[in-house]
Amino acid sequence: MFAELQAIQSAASSLKTAGDIVNALISLGVKAEARAKVIELQAVIIAAQSSAMSAQASQMELLQRVSELEGELMKLENWEAEKQRYGLIRDSGGCMIYSLKQSFVEGGEEAHALCPNCYEANNKSYLQPSPDGARTAGQYCPKCKASFRVWGAARSGTGLAR
């Protein structure tokens, strides 16, 4: 795609040169019939320049989109690797949550759990104590705002995924 962009830029540059030559011809004071043809040629060159410029803009948009998609792909690939560190468990509170696997906790990481809704939507969101924690003793997801009755994994490191 960079080759296409270079080709368009090269065409635009050639057209500019052709336009300069036409302007020089006009200033040379050619005969009336020749002058009419030169002005006609000038209009054709201007139209071609305009087409080259819009092709260049489309090409830039495509390059931008490719770059965005590459970024999204990399993010998804990273998330696929990150997902492998978690396992789906039923917490002692009865909720299905994604918990950090036991081996990582034994390796020194803090036990924690992820929101299953956000996990399925390819987002990583830590379950946090509910703002009204004392009343419901639950956890909630700050991203999707779902509430969970979670007692084990997220709080004490018990009931971890293997």
> Footprint of Zn ion on this chain (CB under 5 A)?
115, 117-118, 125, 141, 143-144
Burial 11-50 (b: 16+ CB within 10 A, else e): bbeebeebbeebeebeeeeeeeeeeeebeebbeebeebbe
- The conformational region for residue 122 under phi > 0 = left, psi -120 to 50 = alpha, else beta, is left
Output 15 or 97, the one with its CB closest to Zn ion.
97
Output 100 or 141, the one with its CB closest to Zn ion.
141
Query: Which residue type occupies 129?
Result: P
Query: Which residue type occupies 149?
Result: R
Q: How far is the CB of 116 from Zn ion (least distance, A)?
A: 8
Q: How far is the CB of 93 from Zn ion (least distance, A)?
A: 16
Q: How far is the CB of 17 from Zn ion (least distance, A)?
A: 59
Nearest CA among 11, 19, 54 for reference residue 38 = 19
Output 52 or 154, the one with its CB closest to Zn ion.
154
Output 45 or 154, the one with its CB closest to Zn ion.
154
Q: How far is the CB of 115 from Zn ion (least distance, A)?
A: 3
Q: How far is the CB of 140 from Zn ion (least distance, A)?
A: 9
Contacts 24+ apart (CB under 8 A), 42-51: 45/15, 45/18, 45/19, 46/19, 48/11, 48/15, 49/12, 49/15, 49/16, 49/19
